[in-house]
Structure 1
Amino acid sequence: MISSTSSSHASGSEPIWAVLGASGFIGSSLQAVLTRAGITVRFVKAPRLNAQSTDASGILAEAARLQDIRQDLAGELAGADVVINAAGLATPTGADSPVLRGANALLPVLVADAADAAGARRFIHLSSAAVQGHRPLLDETDQVEPFSAYSRSKALGEAALGARKPGRCPVTCLRATSVQGTERQTTASLVRIASTPLASVAGRGDAPSPVSSVDALCAFVLTAGRYEGTVPPVILQPWEGATVASVLTAAGGRKPLHLPAWLCRAGLAAGYLVSRLLGERLHGTLRRVEMMWFGQRQEPGWAEATGNVPEPSVERVLEAARREQH
């Protein structure tokens, strides 16, 4: 396992944050934000794991058998003030597999144990709002309704972290919403769709959209990691004020088509029925269409209660992605 330190500061007085998954989309963006904030970023390579279990107790049992990996991780994390797990498999349309569960459920438990053994002050695991699936209101409760292999693996990770014996290092699962950035392929796909006549919304198009920016997510991670008080076990990335119509307008540079809400619901119901017959093969794609049409509301949570809502950036990010693509 290889670790490196990246910082523009030469002294040893700056706080050290260890980041797993620093080469990924969110991890690389987070590294830049942390460095600008005067934090020394230590990159820690995430081990590749397979998990056979599909329940929290099984994941904990598998983690208990991986003492050598836990000890190696603890050595890598030694001296870190905050540990961020941005590693995992972001495959919303992928099938269930031991590799998926290993990356999204087993790894977070091992990192939490290692962060505790290393004496870290806080561990933040980047989860996903997808764990709450089709619920009409995203919130910070433990009520989950995963609907796909990916969302089930993320929900399993949260459940396993919640079931493990608490240590001295508090654990927070940060549920990221639909994060967009100029370097992300899903954002490029959104721009392409928004630029065509296929860009559409249900009804008036004023439904809140959980589409968010990587800039705001990284700022929120920074705030949560620095916070001196207690951070809840689950926090939700705050809403950036976007609606389903404003998202498509920013991404496509044109106003979307407005469809009857009943027609959209009927189309989705038929699509999910077909997808279930195909082993949920179309669930990820259908969920994206559902979010484009109807969005999803969010209940104000820890960020709003403590005054830690980052500056909204989603429309600026989508407009920048559109300019780059065109």
Structure 2
Amino acid sequence: MTQYLSSPQESSSSEPSGVWVVLGSSGFIGGAVCAGLRAAGITVRTVPAPRLSSSARDAAGILGEAAGLAAVRAELAAAFAGASVVVNAAGLATPGGADSPALRGANSLLPAVIAEAADDAGLRRFVHLSSAAVQGHRPFLDESSYVQPFSAYSRSKALGERALAARTGRGCSAVTIRATSVQGPQRPTTAKLARLAASPLASVAGRGTAPSPVSSVDSLVEFIITVGQYTGDVPGVVLQPWERATVAGVLEAAGGRSPVRLPAWLCRSALWAGYRLSALAGERLHGPLRRLEMMWFGQRQVSGWAEATGSVPEPRVQDVLRSLQVREPAGR
């Protein structure tokens, strides 16, 4: 069992104004990470993520491909020089997309190449952003190595995690953060959630008290900074902490109305049939079905490193969702 350190001294950085490198700064989460780091007084260096392609299907194959990309590694190591932490927020966020060499290159091979370059540059920590989707439909999320990917996207993310875990004897501390369902004012999926929550289609299974993994980008950024600055040991995989939201609470905050309560058996039957139809169609409906599953049933999160070390960020998801409530035009 992993032993967590809880010393207050180990949860703070001795060099809060050091240089951090961020890959994927043009994306939703990467841009928020850069803004949060600058607000914390940390110097940010943005580095473009190389576009990679991978034919590998396992961790050994990914590491073999990474070892063969010496020129890419050297270029990244030069860009990392003088920094202390690198954050990888790059990748292809395509939950409903099909498998491809580009998807595996961005979500599986790129993290391994960055980790090798971080070692070459002598960085202290590499923070890689993965997705809680790697654990699929299981009843709860945790920080274990167990994964149950259910789509091309989640399989590519899980493969990236396995490749990082397979690296041994390295100098740079590599930490994978499994981000949950991250929401923010500038994210299109958040706007879609608000519209859905305000519509008659907003519904939950049973009483709606099941925990929801819906979270806020601000709390994720705070957690990333905490992990990067932590001077003690951090496990190879940590889960973004739960923000204490329920499935009904998410819809009520985002839509300003109470969702419809549906029989749980009916919801499970609909999902069972939907996933089987989607499998016959090449998993094309897996993304929408997964969102529906999360709206109805949510997913419980097991307490982990953040809770054990007092590193849980302030929950902000309710405020984010309330700020995006869809309102009727005046006079209607």
Give the shorter-chain TM-score range: over 0.9
How far apart are the structure 2 equivalents of 1:103 and 1:324? Answer: 38
Aligned residues: 315
> Which of 192, 196, 200 is matched with 2:203 structurally?
200
The aligned counterpart of 1:240 is 243
> Which of 96, 106, 111 is matched with 2:109 structurally?
106
The aligned counterpart of 2:323 is 320
The aligned counterpart of 1:5 is none
Out of 165-174 and 285-294, give the one that drifted further: 165-174
1:266 aligns with 2:277: no
1:152 aligns with 2:155: yes
Alignment RMSD: 1.4
Deviation at 1:323? 5.8
Deviation at 1:192? 1.0
How far apart are the structure 2 equivalents of 1:224 and 1:324? Answer: 38
Deviation at 1:165? 3.1
Task: Determine what percentage of the aligned residue pairs are the same residue.
Answer: 65
- The AA in structure 1 aligned to 2:88 is N
**Unpaired runs of at least 5, structure 2:** 1-14
1:268-307 → structure 2 map (5 Å cutoff): 268-307=271-310
1:255 aligns with 2:245: no
The aligned counterpart of 1:47 is 50
1:29-178 → structure 2 map (5 Å cutoff): 29-178=32-181
How far apart are the structure 2 equivalents of 1:13 and 1:130? Answer: 31
Deviation at 1:325? 9.9
How far apart are the structure 1 equivalents of 2:224 and 2:191? Answer: 24
Contact 1:181 1:321 (8 Å CA) reproduced = no
> CA deviation digits over 1:149-192, x for unaligned, max 9?
00000000000111123310011000000000010011111111
Contact 1:127 1:158 (8 Å CA) reproduced = yes
Deviation at 1:228? 1.0
1:26 aligns with 2:29: yes
- The AA in structure 1 aligned to 2:265 is W
Which structure has the higher relative contact order (CA within 8 Å, separation 6+)? 2
How far apart are the structure 2 equivalents of 1:132 and 1:13? Answer: 33
How far apart are the structure 2 equivalents of 1:14 and 1:314? Answer: 28
> CA deviation digits over 1:192-226, x for unaligned, max 9?
11110100000000000000000000000011111
How far apart are the structure 2 equivalents of 1:128 and 1:14? Answer: 28
CA distance 1:36–1:67, shift in 2 (3 Å): same
Deviation at 1:14? 2.7
How far apart are the structure 2 equivalents of 1:156 and 1:277? Answer: 24
Contact 1:200 1:256 (8 Å CA) reproduced = yes
1:211-226 → structure 2 map (5 Å cutoff): 211-226=214-229
- The AA in structure 1 aligned to 2:264 is A
How far apart are the structure 1 equivalents of 2:324 and 2:34? Answer: 20
How far apart are the structure 1 equivalents of 2:39 and 2:107? Answer: 28
How far apart are the structure 2 equivalents of 1:166 and 1:240? Answer: 35
Q: Secondary structure at the match of 1:153?
A: helix
Deviation at 1:321? 2.2
1:14 aligns with 2:17: yes
Contact 1:71 1:114 (8 Å CA) reproduced = yes
Contact 1:188 1:325 (8 Å CA) reproduced = no
How far apart are the structure 2 equivalents of 1:91 and 1:13? Answer: 34
- The AA in structure 1 aligned to 2:312 is V
**Unpaired runs of at least 5, structure 1:** 1-11
> CA deviation digits over 1:238-260, x for unaligned, max 9?
00000000000111111100000
- The AA in structure 2 aligned to 1:299 is V
Deviation at 1:320? 1.4
> Which of 181, 188, 193 is matched with 2:191 structurally?
188
How far apart are the structure 2 equivalents of 1:217 and 1:205? Answer: 24
Q: Secondary structure at the match of 2:211?
A: coil
Contact 2:20 2:85 (8 Å CA) reproduced = yes
Normalised by the length of structure 2, the TM-score is 0.93
Contact 1:131 1:145 (8 Å CA) reproduced = yes
Deviation at 1:324? 8.8
CA distance 1:191–1:68, shift in 2 (3 Å): same
Q: Secondary structure at the match of 2:83?
A: coil
Contact 1:18 1:41 (8 Å CA) reproduced = yes
